[in-house]
Chains A and B, each alone.
Chain A
Amino acid sequence: MLLTALCLTLLVFYLTNLAPNLEKLAKTQGNFRMTDEEVTTYLANHGYAQPFLAKYGQWLGVLPGYVIIGHDGQTRAKCAPESGVIETAPRFCGILQGDWGQSSVIKKDVGTVIADKLALTGKLMFWVLVLMVPSALLIGVLAGMREGSRTDRTLSTISITTSATPEYVSGVLFIAVFASSAVGLKWFKGTATSAMDHATFENFFLPVLTIAAYGMGYIARMTRASMAEVMTSQYIRTARLKGVSFGNIVVKHALRNALIAPFTVIMLQFPWLLNGVVIVETLFNYKGFGWAMVLAASNNDIELLLGISVVSVIVVLLTQLISDIGYVYLNPRISVT
């Protein structure tokens, strides 16, 4: 897990530190009409011209931060703030020391930016899960309960449809139908910017629905498959023959075993949800984690981008871990010995 995170950040670091990207960074930070020499001095002054692995080591915090006496006579150090005193600055400042660096677009500490944005996205994700998981499980259980019935076929078609609709399509359709006066149903707001401070049903439901709809279909299909399998098993038939009512069989006997597979699927959906978050936040102008990623990537904000990739990789790997642990907990046949 640590190795994966290291490799990924190294990759991001390498790609963002390619010469043309650095040139773009220099021009957006300085000014757009810089000559080639000015770009070179700017990069040298700000420590970008060092060897690639040295920069990576400094970012990680295993090498001492640079102290460079620039061509303009001014001394700059990685560990000292823009106008701070260089002598008192610590030698090491990388993520190992808890210093995530400075964002060059937002002009703030990357740690605080990410914490803010994560809180906003966390709010979005929380409501997505609240909406998505119960309805997906419900659809899946209802469809898988009587395999091949009319309900099953209708619900399966619905879940295929929602899982085949990318967020940018469903989002646009939702806005067009529910938020514009052309159709007449002005039930919700088409942007979620105001939901960042105080979310209401009106301004927050559409983004939540858009993400939830995409993930829902897949989970529902998995639940259906696993439910259908459980319903054909021996112990369910025994229960039926003993005269247990159908409702009782579904709720008390089948459900627990049928929910093992969907649990793993829900956990493994997180990376995909993360993608959906980026699209939906852009679409609804909700300035959370995904929005910050787009901003950082389009401005080649190296340290913010690295911070974001570290966080998202940790999220992905953590959910994999949780799904493994949860699997053992839900399925008594597997034990950790």
Chain B
Amino acid sequence: MTDPLGWGGIIGQMMVQFAPTLTALIATFALSITYKRRLGLYGKLFDSTIGMIGLALVLFWVYTAFFAGVLDLIATHDPLDQSASMKKKLPGTPYSKLIGKADPEAGAYYILGGDNLGRDVFSRVIAGSIKVILIAPFATIFAFMVGVTLGLPAGYYGGKFDTVLSFIANLVMAFPVILLFYLLVTPEIVHTGIPVYMAAILFIFPVIFLTILWQSRYYTQPAKRNIYVGITLVIGLWLYLGIAWDADPLGLIRFPPNLLVVFVAVVFVNAPTVFRIVRGLVLDIKTRDYVAAAQTRGEGPWYIMLWEILPNARGPLLVDFCLRIGYTTILLGTLGFFGLGLESESADWGKMIIDGRKLLSANILHIAIPPALALLSLVLGLNFLADGLREESLRD
């Protein structure tokens, strides 16, 4: 029986576990600062303290999720493995098992203690990060694709199309988000297949977006156009069938239905806001001279929207993208907090927080605090990053 770790030992152990992440982080920063003058907007980020802090926090979790998810480093235990003798044990308690044999490859300590079922809090926080880093950026990208594909023509053409879409967007935004989650993310709704239909509608937008993007640019060079559009359609529709309909002809891509609902719900909540932002930007930009010049040249409306207006709206959109990933992370946590859309065992920051909350009154803090701080640091990092980007892009 080894002695429990003190606070110094706990921090030391965490440093050891996070070593790959920290090494990668330091390497990234060293390289970026050396070459920052040649890296455009990304390099400028290293001129602002707040942007650097933000980037460091975000990269920390990205690297952690990468090393834990792909290379199976960092986490010390299986996030689902329960040990009866480790229930509610304090941080730094040596690992033991009451029933069955202890995994010989598992770490010697529960660095941040055990939760109410005797699972390792540290490993669960790490496992939770994989989920967030996987879902949040992609859900945000999808929401942006939907919002951009609909917001561009709505702002550019106006008229009935705009009126109808704005009405729908306002409708979704007037809905309390949590009520929407409660109505959409339940096993009963999954049963009716509504999420699949919603996914079918929402997920076709990236394919449409990219196809129009290439078509409007290269329709004068059919050879190049055919290659780009062809590649987009083949890969896009393949992913589309696999993700939305679970009908991948090759059987390679599958998306657990549980996760699909969460994904769809988050995209659905974010898309109307993106739509509104894009529409507002287009209304502003379409009065500029270069748009008039393109119109006089006889460019098609989609070329003007995608290759003249959109690139000039990139600053605000990039900032909003960072903020929106943070918001999506908060939404994922909210879903977990209300126990929606996950298996009861899975490691999810929101779920861990609400589970730990119940024990706060019993003076057990180490279950709720680590996931809370993890979520906080990631969202904070994204917000700082957005702030740094805004500052630096305004300086141009």
Question: What 1/0 flags go to A163-206 for Cβ under 8 Å of B?
Answer: 11110110111011001111100000011000000000000000
Task: Give the docked Cα–Cα distance between A283 and B356 (Å).
Answer: 11
The closest CB in chain A to the CB of B338 belongs to: A294
Interchain CB contact under 8 A, A179 and B360: yes
Contact of B353 among A169, A191, A313 (CB under 8 A): A169
Interchain CB contact under 8 A, A180 and B380: no
Q: In which size bucket is the chain A interface?
A: 35 or more
Interchain CB contact under 8 A, A297 and B170: no
B171 close to chain A: CB less than 8 A:
yes
B175 close to chain A: CB less than 8 A:
yes
A317 close to chain B: CB less than 8 A:
yes
Contacts of B387 in A (CB 8 A): 160
Q: Which of A7-15, A42-50, A65-73, A95-103 contacts B (4 or more CB under 8 A)?
A: A7-15
Interchain CB contact under 8 A, B179 and A164: no
B13 close to chain A: CB less than 8 A:
no
The closest CB in chain B to the CB of A316 belongs to: B174
State the main secondary structure of chain B at its contact with A: helix
Task: Give the docked Cα–Cα distance between A274 and B375 (Å).
Answer: 22
B376 close to chain A: CB less than 8 A:
yes
Contacts of A7 in B (CB 8 A): 171
Interchain CB contact under 8 A, B326 and A164: yes
Interchain CB contact under 8 A, A312 and B179: yes
B344 close to chain A: CB less than 8 A:
no
Contact of B182 among A157, A164, A297 (CB under 8 A): A297
Interchain CB contact under 8 A, A19 and B192: yes
Task: Give the docked Cα–Cα distance between A298 and B181 (Å).
Answer: 11
Contact of B376 among A20, A165, A312, A317 (CB under 8 A): A165
Task: Give the docked Cα–Cα distance between A12 and B182 (Å).
Answer: 11
Interchain CB contact under 8 A, B188 and A312: no
Interface residues of B in 69-84 (CB under 8 A from A): none
Interchain CB contact under 8 A, A164 and B379: yes
Nearest 3 Cβ contacts at the A-B interface: A297-B182, A20-B188, A164-B383
Q: Which residues of A contact B (CB under 8 A)?
A: 3-4, 7-8, 12, 15-16, 18-21, 23-24, 157, 160-161, 163-166, 168-169, 171-173, 175-176, 179-183, 190-191, 271, 274-275, 278-279, 282-283, 290, 293-294, 297-298, 300, 305, 308-309, 312-313, 316-317
Q: List 14 A-B contacts (CB under 8 A).
A: A3-B167, A18-B192, A18-B194, A20-B192, A21-B186, A160-B380, A161-B383, A168-B354, A172-B368, A175-B357, A180-B363, A283-B357, A297-B183, A312-B179
